[in-house]
Structure formats: C-alpha cells, structure tokens
C-alpha cells in the first residue's frame, strides 16, 4: 500500500504539465459585462502564464466560463515548473580583461570575484558592438504553485472594471464582493489568499437548487460537477444556445416566431445559471395600441422575448427565462403576466391620453424644455431648424412646406406621456401621433426618420423631408455646441457630437445628396443670435467633420493616404469628396498608377523649387524638345476632354484618361531638363508641368499617395 502511494507521488511529480483552473465566486455580476469580463480574465491569465514560462503550446486553447455568480478559466497543460534559464551578467570589455600576455587583469579578477567564480570560468560574449567578458549561470525554474498566485492576482487587477467595489473591512476591490475562490493545478489545490478569500477546491452550486459546496478533485473535470450536481451550466455559449433553442421551441408551439436579438439574449444569458424558459400571454386588447411600447416594455424593461406571426405582427405572447426549475411553473407564469399587464395598462393609458390632444398643440410646451442652458429651449431649436430644413429640402428638390411642418412637429412627442415613460421611443411615437392626427404621410415618416441614424451601422432616412430634417437638426446642434465652446475634447464627448457629425456625412454620402457642407454650416450659424456667433465656429465644425470623415473612410478600409490626397483639394461637397476617393482607389489599381504617382511627387517638388509662381500660359514657340511638345499636345487635348467629366463628377473616368498620359510624362522626364539656365524656357516648362498638375488636382493630390 505504501509502495503504491509512493509510486503515485513519484508519477505526479514527474508530470511535466497539468490543467489549471481558476474560479472566482461572487455576488451577482452585471449581466451585460459577464461575457466581456470572462474573456478578459482568460486573456490576462494566459498572458501571465506565457510571460512566466508556465504556458505550453496547448495552453492557448484555454476555455472561459461565466455565470451571474462566477468567472472561471480552465487552461490546459500548464507547466509544473518554469523552464530552467541561463542568466547572463556582462563584465568588462574583452580587451580590458586581459593583458598583453593573455593574463586576467584586475578588472577581470574583480568581476570574477563578484560573481563568486574563478576568471577561467567566465565566458566571452560577442556581438556587432564588440566583445565582453560574461558570466553565465543556469537558474532553475521556479515551481508553478509559487508563481500562479501572482499571475492570478495580476490578471484580476487588469480586468476592465469601470467601478470597483469594496466590501467588509477589507481594502480589496473587485466588480462585486467575492465569496469563494477555486485555484487548482492538476489535482492540487494551490494555497493562497486573493481578494480576502482563501483559495481552495470547493465551488458552489445554484443559489436555490444546490447552495452547498462542491469539491473539485481535479482542474480537468470542470465544469461537469456543476452541471451534474449543482444545477449550474457554467459555459456561457452553451447556456446561450440552450436558451435560444428552448425559446424558439416555445414560440413555435403558438405558431409564432420569437424575436431574439443578440444583445437581449446575451443579457438574459448573463442573468441565469439554470435557464428555464416560460411562455406567457397577455390580453389581445392591448394589441390595439402601437406595438413599439409593448415591445419596449417586454424587451427593455422585463427582459422578455416577444413573439410575432409570419407577417411580423405582434402576437399576445411573451417568453421569460427563469433561473429556477420550479415545481409550480404556473405561479411564475402568472407573476410575470401580472407585471406585464400593469405595464401594458400604463402604455394604454398614455396612448389614449396623448391622442386626446393634437401633436401641434404640444409644440408650445417645448418652450419649457431646455435644449442647452446657453442656447435656449427646445422651442428655440425648433424655430432655427424649421428654416434650415426648408432650405435643404428646396435644394434637394423636395417640398419646403412639408419640411417646415415636419420640423415644427419633430420634437413635440417629447411632451407626451408615452415618451416620458419610454424615452427611447421619441420619434417613433411622434410618427404614430402624426398619423393619428392625419398629417401628411411624409411628415409623419420624417418625424421618425430625423433621429436616424441613431448609432453606427443604423439605417438612414429615405424620404427627402426626413433627410432634410435630419441634417438640419444635427447641424444646428453642432454649430450651437461649438459656439459655446463645448465641443469634444480627448475622449470626452458629452453631447455625442462625433456621432452627430458622422450621421450628417453618412446621410449626404450614402444618400447621394448634392449638398455643400460649408454653405449649410454657414446657414446654421446665421440662425443663431449675433451674441452667440463666433467667427471661427463654421471653420471649426467643418474641420471637425472632416476629421470624422477620415474615421468614416478608415472604417470601410480606405487607406489614410487616399483620404489625404483628396482632402488637400478641399472639396466642399461630401458626395463630391466620396467620388474623388472612389476614383483614386480605382486609379491605384491601374498599371500606370505607380509611375504617375511618382511623377506627381516630382512635379510638386519641381514647382516648389520654381517658387510656385502662377504659370498660366504655355508658349508653343518655346517648346523645343519633341518630348515636351508631345506632352503639351496631350495636356491641351485632355483639358477639353476632361472638363465635362469633372463637371459631371465622373472622376473615375477622368483618372483613367489621365492615366493614358503615362508614356508622354515618362518621356518628358527622361529627355527634358526643366530647371535650365534660360529663364523663358524654364518658366515655359514649369507652366507645362503646372497645367499637368492642375489636371490631376481637379481630383486629388497624387503626391500624397504612398508606395
């Protein structure tokens, strides 16, 4: 028996690596943060193991687990000891270490003595900078159980936790109070104390189903015992997939389709350890009010999944996910139905009450709502936006009357009871109330559309009135906030002006609207009282929006040098800017692009050397070289051909025509000297190059392009 035990110990110590498990048990974690926290913990833990040399090639295949009450990481094949390392201590230069007879100098002897060895035990270190005496010593790797606690502590400190909590009398901080800690390496529990909790091998099951300790004999068996005994499905992805499957099955029973948004699904997954979906219902009479407030109450307030039929219409059912397997499911169902019934009754009351007064009669109440303490009320903003929206609509070929009406009513739903209860429905409810008041359909649609896009990737307004109103509303905000000196600084953007600016640019570019941004900004600026008009506001906002345009193109894969090539020409119309960007991108794919890009750089340098004077005339008499005559003829011919293309904004075709100049441009630089002594000839050649450069600059400054 003793011999067998000794062999087991010997075999265990001989194992080079074993799985490692970390589990942090806490109070209920923020459900929207659970997945990100678990992924960050896994990343930081693996990074620490790799830095200390404990990670093996298989360790990168670690698994993360997350429930409302735990974060866990299982790392395969973590070494039991650090690999041995050779440390080097550099001494004096080799030349200073030995005398002419090859004997150690005092410098070498002193260095050897400080290392505790004889001079003959020192080695030579040589690289491209020289040679030195060096002492090399083998350092035995540190045992894993001595290093892992520090690795874990560092990983926990590095988690992206905006606000950390303290609990009890301890100074320790974490996202939520910590109740238990599991730290295993193979079959061994690593003894340490972190976050004021002693680590061990005991985890805890479901708060209600199995609130007892569960001893884990090995890191490898996690999370099996939790699921089999503890009613805890620790794998976040598996729990998420299970919820989706069961929710869809319940909806199918009613011949419906459960709407499972990924954001809601992840939040619900973060709320439960043992998911049990339950189907509930509500009175069909509530379906007479608009579906959005009902959906908002179910999805955003109660974390329910709503159900629609094949046509997308809301059905009188919802699905909630309980965190307990109850013996009396009917009670849970009835409790949830009672809660949602009360919320729906409130929504029904708000709808009926709001519809008793026309939307236009609520506009006057906006005078009591502050838009900005220095910029006046929302009513003041509405007054400014009406004129700007009408002007934009006229330029787009739309109706100024509809734009004015939509701008008048656009913010009125802020004064309704429904939007007071569901602020996220502003605009949406305005559309419903406008439809109820029998406003023009485009006015009703524009009220909702003027909030679009609400976020990155969101849909854009499609009606001309909606486009005009959305642009006018945002430009008024940008000019106003910049006028009072509260534009974004660093990472701070309290008024979401970056998103606002990007929204305008997306509407104009993706909507293919021929609008002059600088002119629009100037119009918005003139709408403010003179006391608020700062002379540099328009330029500041325009520059800010151009910076956002840089980000816009970077996100869709446009290289920064392409943006720089176009922005140098300062196109005032964002759509024109976009056409130039597309043209330059297409030009770069042409076989002539590399040569012509280099030529443009050379031309810009030569023109700078020539003083950048105004060379507006090329004399054919002074064109003495065949190569310069050929280039001049081609440039003159292209000027006539390209003018209509430039006027139409067909920059892609124009660049293809310009690419055909490559043979003449190459021939010119191969055979013609520009900076000759004869002033008239030199200036004539500079004028030729200036005209050629001007043709390219009608699209972009190709000298900005990188190889």
Question: Is the pLDDT reported for residue 553 higher than 70?
Answer: yes
List every span in the chain annotated with CATH 3.30.70. Answer: 15-82+143-228
List every span in the chain annotated with CATH 1.10.730.10. Answer: 585-704
pLDDT of residue 8: 44
Instruction: Report the topology of domain 373-557.
Output: Hypothetical protein af1432 (1.10.3210)
Summarize the confidence of residues 454-474 as an average pLDDT.
96
Question: Is the pLDDT reported for residue 264 higher than 80?
Answer: yes
Of 159, 152, 157, 223, the closest CA to residue 190 belongs to 152
**What are the φ/ψ torsions at residue 372 (nearest 5 degrees)?**
-155, 140
**pLDDT tens digits, 221-259:** 999 999 999 999 999 999 999 999 999 999 999 999 999
Per CATH, is 585-704 categorized as 1.10.730.10?
yes
pLDDT band at 10 (very low <50, low <70, confident <90, very high): very low
Q: What is the architecture of the domain spanning 15-82+143-228?
A: 2-Layer Sandwich (3.30)
**pLDDT tens digits, 191-219:** 999 999 999 999 999 999 999 999 999 99
pLDDT band at 615 (very low <50, low <70, confident <90, very high): low
Summarize the confidence of residues 602-620 as an average pLDDT.
74
CA atoms of 572 and 483, how far apart (whole Å): 21
Summarize the confidence of residues 266-290 as an average pLDDT.
97
Query: In b/e form, how buried is each residue of 101-122, taking b as 16+ CB within 10 angstroms?
Result: eeebbeebeebbeebeeebeeb
DSSP strands (E only) in 68-139: 70-79, 85-93, 123-127, 130-139
300: helix, strand or coil: helix
pLDDT of residue 86: 74
CA atoms of 115 and 88, how far apart (whole Å): 11
pLDDT of residue 665: 86
The more confidently predicted of residues 570 and 3 is: 570
CA atoms of 419 and 354, how far apart (whole Å): 10
CA atoms of 453 and 507, how far apart (whole Å): 8
209: helix, strand or coil: coil
Summarize the confidence of residues 363-381 as an average pLDDT.
96
The more confidently predicted of residues 657 and 386 is: 386
**pLDDT tens digits, 117-144:** 888 888 888 888 888 888 887 778 889 9
What mean pLDDT value characterizes the chain?
91
**pLDDT tens digits, 636-656:** 888 888 889 988 989 999 989
pLDDT of residue 6: 46
pLDDT of residue 614: 57
pLDDT of residue 625: 85
**pLDDT tens digits, 185-195:** 999 999 999 99
- On the CB side of 440, CA atoms within 13 Å amount to 15
pLDDT of residue 613: 57
Share of the chain above pLDDT 70, in %: 97
Summarize the confidence of residues 357-365 as an average pLDDT.
96
List every span in the chain annotated with CATH 1.10.3210. Answer: 373-557
pLDDT of residue 7: 45
């Amino acid at each position: 028996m003793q011999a067998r035990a000794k062999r087991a110990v010997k075999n265990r110590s001989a194992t080079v690596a074993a799985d490692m498990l970390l589990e942090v048990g806490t109070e209920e974690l923020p459900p929207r943060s659970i997945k990100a926290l678990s992924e960050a913990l896994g990343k930081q833990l693996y990074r620490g193991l790799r830095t200390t040399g404990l990670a093996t090639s298989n360790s990168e295949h670690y698994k993360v687990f997350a429930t409302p009450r735990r974060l866990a990481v299982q790392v395969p094949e973590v070494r039991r000891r650090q690999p041995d390392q050779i440390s080097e201590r550099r001494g004096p230069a080799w030349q200073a270490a030995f005398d002419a007879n090859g004997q150690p100098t005092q410098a070498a002897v002193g260095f050897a003595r400080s290392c505790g060895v004889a001079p003959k035990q020192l080695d030579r270190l040589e690289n491209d900078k020289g040679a030195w005496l060096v002492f090399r010593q083998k350092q035995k790797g540190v045992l894993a159980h001595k290093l892992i606690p520090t690795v874990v502590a560092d990983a926990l400190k590095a988690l992206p936790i905006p606000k950390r909590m303290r609990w009890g009398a301890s100074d320790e901080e974490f996202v939520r109070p910590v109740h238990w800690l599991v730290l295993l390496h193979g079959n061994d529990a690593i003894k340490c104390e972190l976050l004021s909790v002693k680590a061990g091998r005991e985890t805890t099951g479901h708060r209600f189903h199995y609130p007892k300790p569960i001893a884990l004999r090995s890191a490898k068996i996690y999370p099996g015992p939790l699921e089999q005994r503890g009613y805890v499905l620790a794998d976040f992805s598996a729990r998420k997939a299970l919820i989706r499957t069961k929710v869809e099955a319940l909806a199918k029973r009613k011949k419906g389709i459960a709407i499972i948004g990924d954001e809601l699904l992840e939040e619900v997954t973060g709320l439960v350890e043992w998911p049990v979906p339950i189907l509930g219902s509500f009175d069909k009479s509530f379906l007479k009010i608009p579906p959005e407030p009902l959906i908002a109450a179910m999805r955003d307030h109660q974390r329910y999944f709503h159900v629609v039929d094949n046509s997308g219409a809301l059905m009188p059912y919802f699905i909630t996910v309980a965190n307990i397997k109850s013996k009396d499911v009917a009670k849970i169902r009835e409790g949830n139905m009672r809660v949602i019934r009360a919320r729906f009754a409130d929504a029904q009351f708000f709808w009926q009450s709001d519809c008793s007064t026309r939307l236009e009669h609520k506009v006057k109440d906006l005078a009591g709502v502050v838009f900005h303490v220095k910029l006046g009320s929302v009513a003041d903003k509405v007054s400014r936006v009406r004129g700007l929206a009408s002007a934009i609509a006229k330029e787009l070929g739309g109706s100024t009357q509809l734009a004015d009406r939509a701008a008048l009513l656009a913010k009125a739903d802020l004064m309704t009871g429904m939007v007071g209860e569901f602020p996220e429905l502003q605009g949406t409810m305005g559309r419903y109330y406008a439809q109820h008041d029998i406003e023009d359909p485009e006015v009703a649609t524009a009220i909702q559309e003027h909030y679009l896009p609400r976020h990155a990737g969101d849909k854009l307004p499609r009606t001309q009135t909606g486009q005009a109103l959305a642009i006018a509303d945002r430009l008024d905000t940008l000019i106003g906030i910049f006028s009072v000196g509260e534009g974004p600084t660093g990472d701070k953007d309290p008024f979401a002006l970056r998103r606002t600016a990007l929204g305008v640019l997306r509407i104009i570019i993706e909507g293919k609207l021929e609008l002059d941004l600088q002119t629009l900004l100037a119009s918005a600026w003139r709408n403010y009282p003179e006391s608020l008009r700062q002379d540099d506001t328009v330029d500041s906002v325009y520059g800010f929006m151009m910076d956002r345009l840089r980000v816009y193109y970077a996100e869709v894969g446009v290289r920064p040098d392409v943006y720089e090539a176009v922005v140098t020409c300062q196109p005032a119309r964002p759509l024109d800017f976009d056409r130039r960007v597309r043209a330059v991108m297409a030009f770069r794919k042409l076989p002539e692009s590399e040569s012509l890009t280099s030529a443009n750089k050379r031309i810009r340098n030569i023109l700078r050397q020539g003083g950048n004077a105004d060379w507006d005339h090329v004399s054919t008499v002074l064109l003495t070289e065949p190569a310069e005559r050929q280039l001049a003829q081609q440039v003159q011919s292209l000027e006539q051909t390209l003018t209509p293309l430039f006027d139409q904004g067909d920059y892609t075709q124009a660049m293809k025509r310009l690419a055909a100049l490559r043979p003449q441009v190459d021939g010119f630089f191969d055979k013609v000297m520009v900076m000759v002594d004869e002033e008239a000839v030199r200036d004539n050649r500079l004028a030729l190059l200036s005209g050629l450069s001007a043709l390219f600059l009608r699209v972009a400054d190709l000298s900005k392009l990188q190889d």
